[in-house]
């Protein structure tokens, strides 16, 4: 999955308009970043790249870019 497509899907997970997330956003600033969004992200990462992630790994992330890197969605994609 391409980076832009992943970000659009992540927008949907956190209930934002398509095209909102760019990567630099802090997760703590996202109103709808919660346990349900985390589960949605885990499913999205699995679908996008086959990444098998744990909640503990995700809790270590501070930004949307950290989530992209964890899911192995590269900047060049």
CATH number at residue 63: 1.10.1200.10
3 state DSSP class of 63: strand
How far is residue 70's CA from residue 60's CA, in Å, rounded to a whole number?
A: 10
DSSP state of 15: T
Confidence of residue 76 (pLDDT cuts 50, 70, 90): very low
* Domain contains 7: yes
6-63 pLDDT, tens digit per residue, is 999 999 999 999 999 999 999 999 999 999 999 999 999 999 999 999 999 999 999 9
Q: Which domain holds residue 65?
A: 3-70
Cα torsion at 20, 56, 75, 13 (round to 10°)?
-30
Q: Into how many domains does the chain fold?
A: 1
- Angular region, 23: left φ>0, alpha ψ -120 to 50, beta rest: left
What's the predicted TM-score (pTM) here? 0.92
């Amino acid at each position: 999955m391409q980076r832009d497509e992943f970000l659009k899907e992540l927008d949907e997970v956190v209930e934002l308009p398509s095209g909102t997330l760019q990567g630099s956003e802090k997760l703590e600033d996202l109103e709808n970043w919660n346990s349900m969004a985390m589960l949605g992200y885990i499913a999205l990462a699995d679908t996008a790249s086959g990444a098998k992630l744990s909640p503990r790994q995700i809790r270590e992330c501070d930004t949307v870019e950290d989530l992209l890197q964890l899911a192995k969605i590269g900047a060049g994609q």
